[in-house]
Chains A and B, each alone.
Chain A
Amino acid sequence: MENLTTQMAGVPLNHYIYLCAIIFTIGVIGVLTRRNAIVIFMSVELMLNAVNLLLTAFSVHSNDPSGQVFVFFIMALAAAEVAVGLAIIVMVYRNTKSIDINVLNRLKW
């Protein structure tokens, strides 16, 4: 384990930034192109995870554990968000018999 992580020194920080930017963008594309509410929710999870990885990379880069504590809080928040969100989706399905978000356009008014 120890020599594996010391050998990791070769990866530049901006490659982590590019990886996280790509995965965040994939999450954004998922939100924009899908109509299934649960898949949209999964894309949001993807975006949260990209941010988590970037926070960890910056935390290692600047030798500061606060970044990893923030990731821990984001994970707690994501768990709470998923519980409430899926409860709302089940509720919507029970009332409209569909999880197509276009059914919900009445919420505009």
Chain B
Amino acid sequence: MSTQVFYFVATLSIIFSLMVIFAKNPIHSVLYLILTFFTFTVHYVLLNAQFLAVVNFIVYMGAIMVLFLFVLMLLNLNKETEPSKSPLIKIVGVVAGCCLIVTLVGSFKAASINSPLILKNQGLGLVENLGKELFGPFLLPFELSSLLLLAAMVGAVLLSKRDEVEA
């Protein structure tokens, strides 16, 4: 029963991510992307990475998707203003993507890793374990990522501020 859950959720995430890139209306794309991220959260729960599941839920589905939706609503984009490429470019893009997947799958077949995924340590993805790792060997990258977020915040405000000299 349990492995069926994985295949069911995997099918759903593939379907939803296809809908993201083939939906004509950008608003629908964002909504399908939210569903895709929800299926990813389910994948994290199935892998017992509960901390990542919660972070994925809050950061991706909460913060990032609200930002996308907000910008789309702010720019007032809908199906009429949606630019589309010529059919030739679309076909070439899909063929290039198919070549990529064939290459990837072929190389993974050659590597032939088919050992089943076994969770050896039940507490692997819990906050306690990850916190010890994050504030132990990964302390410097953690502090640097706070600098990165600060720089991104300042940059976003600076970029979206209207230029007073020009206007």
Contact = CB atoms under 8 A, between A and B. Distances in A.
A5 B118 CA distance: 9
Interface string B96-124: 11101100110010001111111111101
A98 B159 contact: no
B133 A87 contact: no
A64 to B, nearest CB: 8
A10 B104 CA distance: 23
Interface residues of A, number: 78
B129 to A, nearest CB: 5
A56 B49 contact: yes
Contacts of A27: 17, 21
19 contacts: A8-B46, A9-B118, A10-B3, A11-B6, A12-B116, A19-B13, A28-B96, A32-B93, A34-B21, A36-B82, A46-B33, A56-B43, A79-B152, A81-B152, A83-B152, A87-B156, A89-B71, A93-B75, A99-B77
Interface in A26-62: 26-30, 32-36, 38-39, 41-43, 45-46, 49, 52-53, 56-57, 59-61
Interface string A68-91: 110111011111111110111111
Interface in B60-107: 60, 63-64, 67-68, 71-72, 74-75, 77, 81-85, 89-90, 92-94, 96-98, 100-101, 104-105
Contacts, number: 257
B60 to A, nearest CB: 7
Contacts of A60: 47-49, 117, 119, 124-125
B117 A12 contact: yes
A90 B158 CA distance: 12
A66 B18 contact: no
B89 A33 contact: yes
Contact of B159 (A15, A79, A84): A84
Given A38-B26, A49-B37, A87 B117 contact: no
A66 B74 CA distance: 39
A102 to B, nearest CB: 7
Contact of A72 (B72, B85, B89, B134): B134
Given A18-B105, A42-B68, A68-B130, A25 B75 contact: no
